[in-house]
Amino acid sequence: MSQGVAVKPIVALTTKAADELKLYLERQGKPGAALRIFVTAGGCSGLSYGMVVDDKLSDDDYVIEVGGAKVAVDRSSAPFIAGSTVDYRSEKLMGGGFVVENPNAVSTCGCGESFKTA
């Protein structure tokens, strides 16, 4: 009997991020929606993260679900953020929110929303 190979998800979602995402989506009246994370050209380091609530997922999306919270990543963004972890930070001074901890980023800017890959 052969064993299947475990496939690692494109991104991981921390428990804290999953809990905060579920609360956020419920407050938005979209409890079944996903947080779409995408990468675009721009920002002071070359690439920038974007995040939107999306309730129309595509067959080409990578969808990660943790504790009922969903994150979607499109195929063109996936190579830039593969292996990343999505967390939630509740910093008092600058607000807080969802952050991407990306092992592919060789440099980031001060805002943490722009990065450069090798």
Query: pLDDT tens digits for 40-97?
Result: 886 665 788 889 999 999 999 999 999 999 999 999 999 888 899 999 988 765 567 8
Stated pTM of the model:
0.78
Q: Which two tokens stand for residue 48?
A: 């920038």
Domain ranges of the chain: 11-117
- CA 31 to chain CA mean position, Å: 17
Provide φ and ψ at 3, rounded to 5°: -95, 145
The residue that leads in pLDDT, 72 or 108, is 72
Q: What pLDDT is recorded for position 5?
A: 47
Q: Which CATH architecture has domain 11-117?
A: Sandwich (2.60)
Predicted pLDDT at 2: 46
Supply 51's token pair: 């995040």
pLDDT, position 6: 46
Tell me the mean pLDDT in the region 35-39: 92
